[in-house]
Amino acid sequence: MPISYHSSSKTFHLYNSHISYIMMVLPNGHLGHLYFGKALHDRESFEHLLELRNRSMAVCTFEGDLSFSLEHLLQEYPCFGSGDMREPAFDISMDNGSHISDFRYASHIIKEGKPPLPDLPHTFVDHDHQAYTLEITLKDTIMHTTMILSYTLFEQLPIITRHVCFKHEGNSPITLHKAMSLNLDLPDSHYELVELTGAWARERHVKVRPLEHGITAFGSKRGHSSSNFNPFMMLKRPHTTEISGEAIGISFVYSGNFLAQVEVDTYDVSRISIGIHPQNFSWTLEKNDSFTTPEAILAYSDQGLNHLSQQFHTLFLNHLSPKKWRNRPAPILVNNWEGTYFDFNEERIIDMAKTAKSLGIELFVLDDGWFGHRDDDTTSLGDWYPYLKKLPHGLKSLACKIKALGLDFGLWIEPEMISKDSDLYRRHPEMMLHTPQRHDSHGRNQYILDFSNPLVVDTIYHMLENTFKDVPIDYIKWDMNRSMSEVYSTALPAHQQGQVMHRYILGVYHLYERLIQRFPHILFESCSSGGARFDPGMFYYAPQAWTSDDTDAIERLKIQYGTSFAYPIRFMGSHVSASPNHQLHRFTPLKTRGDVAYFGTFGYELDVNQLSDEEKTIVIQQIEWMKEHRSLIQYGTFYRLSSPFEQDTCAWMVVSKDQNDAIVGYYRPLNKINSAYTRLPLLGLDPDKLYGINQTYHYGDELMHYGLITSDESSGLCEHEDPSYDYYSKIYVLKAKSLI
């Protein structure tokens, strides 16, 4: 059993061949943190790792003992008000107004496997032996409340998942004002923080900054995880690179408001925490009520950032994403949105589908505008029935005609939103999130349904179920196009208004769960203005997400590169769009657009009938190539090679599990004249295997240590066979010689 409890020293040790996580019961009954990092030998006692020091002016716990102060100890789940002046992991108030708590160790359970989290997305295992779980129970006897800290260690991964459950048994209510899912105290601050920041159309750009005294924090108060900040961070040593050095990764399996922060005290101790954002959050627990936080993921690497990212990729693909779609390559699709926007009818859609089929496309997706009386974005959200002016024979007829062509059929929905110009709003204006007597702000001319109210979720479910049940739908693109404002639920009393945003996300998860149970054959893709809810919570239900509304190939280099720090390629919706691009109006070669989009789910976001014959030939070749290589691309081991945030090129690659096959994507946005020698060292190959590439053969060690020669790709001249140009790209396919 890779979780040990040593009763003589009251220490816990979670360990496998990769990592160790060590904590102990402190003399005051609280849990102290001792170590997290590379695997250590187990031993009966780790008490020597607990550092007690006399510090002047510290608030001390025991009369006459000047060495034991919570202010100067590493802790597992710290409280506030008993000597520790740093940020607490939780905050609870009693009915007398006190915020003081004292949760002391009571018991623990160690078990094989990983229990599910009811009503919340979570990682899972297929077999109990793949993970082991430790549940530590602490009790506050004055508050009559139990706290259960849960830790799950994955047997083959350097990963531990965390969550907390509060159970109240007292007669008087208590209120949770803050409940982080994870706290990690580290003994020094010699780290750089890596986060994924941005905005709509430039999501998940890589930002690196050193830790300083005080609090470094980011998060979302928008009601969703947001395009601006992703619920993910890395802490890396300053010398850590993509291929060497120590790093810690933290991710949050949640799609709503979140807070991620690192506090460095004046003794250089770093306190990391992640969880539901406490702003406008409060949760009252009556007797026998409980509250469970969402799951947080903690990972470690001593082999650089690529290795750390790969651990998250493995976890998400095998232990988070829906089992039904595991190891299934994404279908190659065309979406009509940028091709038609709202301007379409059945005839035009069928004509596009016929052309799509002739090109080799597998799935046709009908986007916004098929329902209610929707000709623009001011109307009809909430009216989920066919717009007969556009589809005079109904949705089923259109879907059947597309299926008869040999294509699968997909559909766009935005079920969480409502238009004031809709039948649903006219019947039920109370279903909209709004604050009484206050102005209602809109976003994209739309408003938000109160998904904290189960009646609203039930109403939308039955409307969608009634629309879908007779239509042969294979795929749903689930959009969500605005942040929350004027958050108030008329279905909840005043003292529960702090629960609305969390209950809303639980309502979204519940609707996903019901639709998946009712229509298990449908592949769901999450889309929130592109990448505004690109988080692990969504991937529990939908195995792919639209990575960004920005379809420009050059901008996508940074977006997809940054996204790969946390998320696997299989999750990234990436399409070839028209040129000039609809967001940046940039002209890029069709080849380059394809070479970027390959590293994702791959598809097209344009009107295929507007392609020239030459372009159609290229598209046919792209689709044939992707069908041949998509399993490797979407499920191989991914490596970042050259960062577009640091250099004037971008490169990445995927390698098969047996190291026999690899594909490299190389991109150079701007051309050069008479450039210097340039080489691209590869990663992940077998040094002893001979790889064929461009009719030549190279040993793996040569390709990794000397590298691919890329000088000839940026000469500025056009005499050679593969002339260079601005927005240049090249794909290299490597095969071990015995397979050629």
Could you read off the pLDDT of 446-488 as tens digits, one per residue?
Answer: 999 999 999 999 999 999 999 999 999 999 999 999 999 999 9
Task: Report, as an integer, the average pLDDT of 430-444.
Answer: 96
331-414+454-481+520-635: CATH topology is TIM Barrel (3.20.20)
Reply yes or no on whether the pLDDT at 720 is more than 50: no
Task: Tell me what pLDDT residue 724 has.
Answer: 63
Task: Tell me what pLDDT residue 645 has.
Answer: 97
Catalytic: 549?
yes
User: Hunting for tokens 């500025």 — which residue is that?
Assistant: 716
pLDDT tens for each residue of 372-384: 999 999 999 999 9
| Listed range (283-297, 522-536, 569-583, 673-687) with the worst mean pLDDT | 673-687
Tally of CB atoms within 10 A around 141 = 11
pLDDT tens for each residue of 168-207: 999 999 999 999 999 999 999 999 999 999 999 999 999 9
Reply yes or no on whether the pLDDT at 721 is more than 80: no
- Rounded Cα–Cα distance for residues 585 and 575 (Å): 16
Q: What are phi and psi of 580, to 5 degrees?
A: -70, 150
- Rounded Cα–Cα distance for residues 288 and 22 (Å): 32
Considering the segment(s) 642-739 as one domain, its CATH architecture is Sandwich (2.60)
Residue-averaged pLDDT of the chain: 96
Structure tokens of 66?
């000047």
How, if at all, do strands 417-418 and 205-210 pair?
Answer: unpaired
- Rounded Cα–Cα distance for residues 255 and 277 (Å): 12
Give percent of the chain with pLDDT exceeding 70: 98
pLDDT tens for each residue of 557-605: 999 999 999 999 999 999 999 999 999 999 999 999 999 999 999 999 9
Confidence of residue 52 (pLDDT cuts 50, 70, 90): confident
> Which residues, at least 6 apart from 144, have a Cβ–Cβ distance to it below 8 Å?
168, 169, 170, 171
CB 323 within 8 A of CB 516: no
Task: Tell me what pLDDT residue 740 has.
Answer: 58
Strand order in the sheet with 637-642: 637-642, 650-655, 661-668, 728-736, 690-693, 696-699
Task: Report, as an integer, the average pLDDT of 606-635.
Answer: 98
Task: Report, as an integer, the average pLDDT of 610-630.
Answer: 98
> What CATH code is assigned to 3-320?
2.70.98.60
- Start and end residues for every CATH 3.20.20.70 domain found in the chain: 331-414+454-481+520-635
- Start and end residues for every CATH 2.60.40.1180 domain found in the chain: 642-739
C-alpha to C-alpha distances, 512 to 269, 296, 325, 467, 524, nearest whole angstrom: 41, 21, 15, 16, 9
Reply yes or no on whether the pLDDT at 619 is more than 90: yes
Task: Report, as an integer, the average pLDDT of 277-303.
Answer: 98
Per the omega criterion (within 30 degrees of 0), is the bond before 723 cis? no
Tally of CB atoms within 10 A around 500 = 22
Instruction: Give me the long-range contacts of 442-445 (CB less than 8 A, separation at least 24).
Output: 442/482, 443/481, 443/482, 443/483, 443/485, 444/377, 444/481, 444/482, 445/377, 445/378, 445/419
Name the active-site residue from 140, 185, 302, 549: 549
Task: Tell me what pLDDT residue 672 has.
Answer: 84
Task: Tell me what pLDDT residue 53 has.
Answer: 80
Task: Tell me what pLDDT residue 169 has.
Answer: 97
Instruction: Give me the long-range contacts of 6-13 (CB less than 8 A, separation at least 24).
Output: 6/43, 6/44, 6/45, 6/46, 8/44, 8/45, 9/44, 9/45, 9/46, 9/47, 10/105, 11/45, 11/46, 11/47, 12/108, 12/134, 12/136, 13/42, 13/46
Task: Report, as an integer, the average pLDDT of 8-13.
Answer: 97
Reply yes or no on whether the pLDDT at 715 is more than 60: no
- Rounded Cα–Cα distance for residues 308 and 250 (Å): 10
pLDDT tens for each residue of 83-114: 899 999 999 999 999 999 999 999 999 999 99
Task: Report, as an integer, the average pLDDT of 518-528.
Answer: 97
Name the active-site residue from 479, 535, 552, 595: 479
Nearest to 420 by CA among 379, 465, 377: 379
Task: Tell me what pLDDT residue 695 has.
Answer: 83
